[in-house]
Chains A and B, each alone.
Chain A
């Protein structure tokens, strides 16, 4: 009988060995996994043990002793008991008693327990505090750099208005891109402001409604543009049309210094200026690069930019004393100006509240905005503008409605801003735009750089925190070792009375978990409070 059993057992054992060879799970991994799972379970049970006790202690501390509280306490105690003891083996010491034994032996050594918990708390508090400094500083810097709205925006530029113009057609196309909420073009030109017999040149930014609202520009007084304007509307300005027509008819076809250049295309607009007479420039409607330059570049095997470098006179501009009149019926004549504008024009000295004041301005139109102008500049007629809003800033800036400029016949914009529905849409939108050869810029680029910078800072702060935590855990290790050595007799006694090694382990594991638990909780509170105090101090000074 015994022999039979032995062979059976041997068979089973060899089978098990075989299985073990097939499924190679190292035992230490199993042990580690089961240890982690057990510790997690123990941690949860520890919570169930301690939280009601702490809760009712607090209630009793504040003398809340209603009969229903006492009834509740008894009920909760019974429930907690049954949950905690659910996972203890019958016939052996219950887990409740193990935890109680551990907590009792800790409470008899109050000072040591307190110091150890405090050590752990400082370690964890340091990690929490340093990490929150890292995150907090990042958020602070990010908020300084960009508002939430700005994260959803990207600006479009072009480095070649002739080849890649930013015009209505393009922007309408972009507006239909997925995720795009709005497109806001802006045209920047130079304006000559005349006020109280003084002339000042200022930067004029013609914007659509909503552009200023979506920037992080704050109004000092007055309002932004209030009148409705439709930037995508086309205006026909007779002045510019006739001027361009005149140029087309009168323009002699000019040959460049190299005689071999053949310019015979009828479309070529040869523009010559008799007063300066030192430069010629040509523009075609179909090709943004002058034929001359094109031919030169093909002959010399150079890029057009290099041709311009060799023959700078080709790119020279000419100012014409031609005045283009506004379509006055369509202009809004409202202006938002910077404080710098008021200083430059001397308005601030005359009136304490310049809102409502009027001034005259004349704009200089350039080829970038009206393609047919090429490298020429023309002036608009002088027009009166009324200040409706004032923004901070020392640079002399003048914002006017885009519609006003469009009545002068401009077709292109200097740049445009695209507003997305969500900040997540920005990367795909930018990709689509950049795919067409345009340049984009977003505050997200800066934010990304900030994030990279701060992740480095965070790692170093975290390392510091971990250093503190490891010192704390060494302290905890020390406490537990001393506690174990001190209680060798106690452990011996318990084992002699029949406590299993695993149960003894559980008692000490409970102690370390209790230390860690309270250390963690106190540490979290400590870290949070420190962060909160720092936040208060910083918000007071910043």
Chain B
């Protein structure tokens, strides 16, 4: 594991990452040279139209999709120097994930589903249960602990998903279009929660969305188009205002 970390505050870095998928006989380039540096405490939103490569960036970052070219480092580790199982272990120790569509272990109830990440880390059942209840309380879903997740509304499911992502107290929270299936009210509630996590608990959050209206909750926005990062704007920069105004144009 080569140590390439220079900036101690740097958490994740992409060094000219390229990724292409083989479709039929030809290669389809999806990422055409991406450089990203995410620091501890950032709330990064990756936005862009469908097919721009946002989700591929996220999967590459999670260690699920090896790049064709370039380096991905996470906490100073070259992620793809590790084998698949080590990446899995790395992921479950450091990353919490929320998906657009919440997936559940259907045979388990809300509380048990939330405790799964801890159980995967070898934590005993009793401790995992207590932590799960604690985590559910944080997102205000304690009363639904005994329900089966699929019985809940989409907004409630995302809250439970957030509780599950937070239970291991991960360094980084990764969200893949978490508001995609929600109405605007539920979306706002979730985004406020994420913002709180970032500002109060200093969680690093990386969120992919195509919804510009959620940019104001973040601290930085990466605009992707056709496999490259077109624009990288930090909160407070003059372009920030333009970006947040884009939503009214749309």
Binding site for B on A (CB under 8 A): 88-94, 96-97, 101, 104-105, 107-108, 487, 489-490, 492-503
Interface residue tally for chain B (C-beta within 8 Å): 26
- A498 in contact with B92 (CB, 8 Å): yes
Q: How far is the CA of A270 from the CA of B15 in the complex (A)?
A: 126
The answer to whether B107 and A497 touch across the interface, beta carbons within 8 angstroms, is no
* A490 interface neighbour in B62, B106, B119, Cβ under 8 Å: B106
Scan B100-136; emit 1 where CB is below 8 A from any A CB, else 0.
0001111110000000110111101100000000000
Q: Decide: B116 and A500 in contact? CB cutoff 8 A.
A: no
User: In the complex the two chains form, is A501's CB within 8 Å of B119's CB?
Assistant: no
Is there an interface contact between A497 and B120, defined as CB atoms closer than 8 Å?
yes
On whether A91 and B121 interact (CB within 8 A), knowing A495-B88, A500-B85, A501-B84, the answer reads yes
A496-B91, A496-B97 are known contacts. Are A90 and B120 too (CB-CB below 8 A)?
A: no
> Given the known A-B contacts A496-B97, A498-B92, A500-B85, are A92 and B103 also in contact in the complex, defined by CB atoms under 8 Å?
no
B210 within 8 A of A: no
Bound together, the chains give a CA A7 to CA B206 distance in angstroms of: 42
**Which residues from B are CB-within-8-Å of A490?**
103-106
Residues in B with CB closer than 8 Å to A487 are 106
Q: Which of B104, B120, B125 contacts A499, CB < 8 Å?
A: B120
CB distance from A369 to the nearest CB of B (A): 87
B89 within 8 A of A: yes
Q: Is B93 engaged at the interface, CB distance under 8 Å to the other chain?
A: yes
Kindly list chain A residues whose C-beta atoms are within 8 Å of the C-beta of B64.
496
**Nearest-Cβ distance from residue B105 to partner chain A, whole angstroms:** 6
Q: Are A498 and B120 neighbours in the complex by a CB distance under 8 Å?
A: yes
A-side interface mostly: helix
With the chains together, A88 CA to B89 CA distance in Å? 15
B residues near A499, Cβ cutoff 8 Å: 88, 92, 120
Inter-chain contacts of A104 with B (CB < 8 A): 107-108
A501 pairs with B85, CB closer than 8 A = yes
- Which B residues are in CB contact (< 8 Å) with A502? 85
A/B interface sample: 18 pairs, CB < 8 A: A88-B122, A89-B122, A91-B89, A91-B122, A92-B121, A92-B122, A93-B119, A93-B121, A94-B122, A489-B103, A490-B103, A493-B104, A493-B105, A494-B116, A496-B62, A496-B64, A497-B91, A499-B92
**A94 CA to B121 CA in the complex, in Å?**
9
Nearest B residue (CB) for A495: B88
Nearest-neighbor residue (CB-CB) of B95 within chain A = A498
Bound: A107/B107 CA distance, A = 8
**B105 proximity list for chain A (CB < 8 A):** 101, 105, 490, 493-494
Select from chain A the residue with minimum beta-carbon distance to B102: A493
Complex A-B, nearest 10 residue pairs according to Cβ-Cβ distance, in ascending order? A498-B92, A493-B103, A105-B107, A108-B107, A104-B107, A500-B85, A498-B91, A91-B122, A489-B103, A498-B88
**Given A94-B124, A498-B120, 10 further pairs, Cβ under 8 A:** A91-B122, A105-B105, A489-B103, A490-B103, A496-B62, A498-B91, A498-B117, A500-B88, A500-B89, A503-B120
Q: Which residues of B contact A90 (CB under 8 A)?
A: 122
A96 contact set on B, CB distance < 8 A: 125
In the docked arrangement, what's the CA distance between A490 and B105, Å? Answer: 6
**Cα of A495 to Cα of B92 in the assembled complex, Å:** 9
Q: Which residue of A lies closest to B108 (CB)?
A: A104
- Chain A residues with Cβ below 8 Å from B90 are 498
CB nearest neighbor in B for A109 = B107
Q: How far is the CA of A487 from the CA of B103 in the complex (A)?
A: 10
Inter-chain contacts of B88 with A (CB < 8 A): 495, 498-501
Residues 51-73 of B, flagged 1 when their CB comes within 8 A of A and 0 if not, give 00000000000101000000000
Can you name the residue of chain A whose Cβ is closest to the Cβ of B117? A497
Bound complex: CA of A90 vs CA of B105, how far in Å? Answer: 23
Measured in the bound complex, the distance between the Cα atoms of B45 and A416 in whole Å is 105
Q: What residues of chain B lie closer than 8 Å to A492, measured between beta carbons?
A: 103
- Whole-angstrom distance between the alpha carbons of A105 and B92 in the complex? 22
Given A494-B116, A500-B85, verify A105-B106 contact (CB < 8 Å).
yes
Residues in A with CB closer than 8 Å to B92 are 497-499
Bound CA span A93–B118, Å: 8
- Chain A residues near B89 (CB-CB < 8 A): 91-92, 498, 500
